[in-house]
Amino acid sequence: MVDLLSLQKYFILSHLGEGHRAVDFTMGNGHDTEFLSKTVGPGGQVTAFDIQPKALESTAKNLREWGCPENWRLICDSHHNAINYIDGKIKAGMFNLGYMPGSGNKALTTMRETTLPAVENALTLLDRDAILMVAVYPGHPEGALEGEELQKYFATLSRYKLCIAKFQMVNSPTSPYFIIAETK
């Protein structure tokens, strides 16, 4: 069976390597931040965002326990403000939409009002041969609406500048899926 997490990492690793810069736009507990940190190594840089102070505390603790290099910066702010903190181009960006796993608060989720501007801004940060990964969770109402809005937006972008693909289980419409945007 297809493992979506492994597939996401496969696509990211085709663009991201030692010494690169990456952004985790939706930090949560730091699993994507860990992956990015270990991938770019000590010479790279990872910036991660979340609006919940609990996410920063959890992620910082986890990154230290997981043996990540000290190449990360955690910011307590919305992903739609990330462009104010990132100076220069990035090779990879990751969005894992929805709510923070294990938080016990499924009502606090990413929202269309900030996700679309965040994705638009993230695309402007991408370097050549870079990737933006957006994981969508349509199993809850806001997640379904976020996914619909993002797909409409991505469909308007030039295929001569970006290669955009969607990966979803066809026979499971409420399962998570992801969209990638790769620069040419």
Q: What percent of the chain has pLDDT over 70?
A: 92
Q: Spell out the residues 6+ positions from residue 36 whose beta carbon is closer than 8 angstroms to its own.
A: 12, 16, 22, 23, 24, 46, 48, 92, 94
Q: What CA–CA distance (Å, rounded) separates 97 from 94?
A: 9
State the average pLDDT over residues 99-112. 60
Q: What CA–CA distance (Å, rounded) separates 123 from 116?
A: 11
Q: How confident is the model at residue 3 (pLDDT cuts 50, 70, 90)?
A: confident
3-state SS, residue 87: coil
The predicted pLDDT at position 103 comes to: 54
Is the pLDDT at 97 greater than 80? The verdict is yes
Q: What CA–CA distance (Å, rounded) separates 170 from 72?
A: 36
Is the pLDDT at 101 greater than 80? The verdict is no
The predicted pLDDT at position 156 comes to: 97
Is the pLDDT at 146 greater than 60? The verdict is yes
Residue 51: how many CA atoms within 13 Å on its side-chain side?
13
Task: Provide DSSP, 20-47.
Answer: -EEEESS-TTSHHHHHHHHHH-TTSEEE
Q: How confident is the model at residue 5 (pLDDT cuts 50, 70, 90)?
A: confident
Q: How confident is the model at residue 2 (pLDDT cuts 50, 70, 90)?
A: confident
Q: What CA–CA distance (Å, rounded) separates 75 from 65?
A: 19
Mean pLDDT of the chain: 91
Q: What CA–CA distance (Å, rounded) separates 96 from 59?
A: 14
Tokens of 58: 């959890």
Hey, what domains does the chain have and what are their CATH numbers?
Answer: 4-183 (3.40.50.150)
Q: How confident is the model at residue 99 (pLDDT cuts 50, 70, 90)?
A: low
The predicted pLDDT at position 104 comes to: 54
Between 109 and 95, where is the model more confident? 95
Write out pLDDT tens, residues 36-67.
999 999 999 999 999 989 999 999 999 999 99
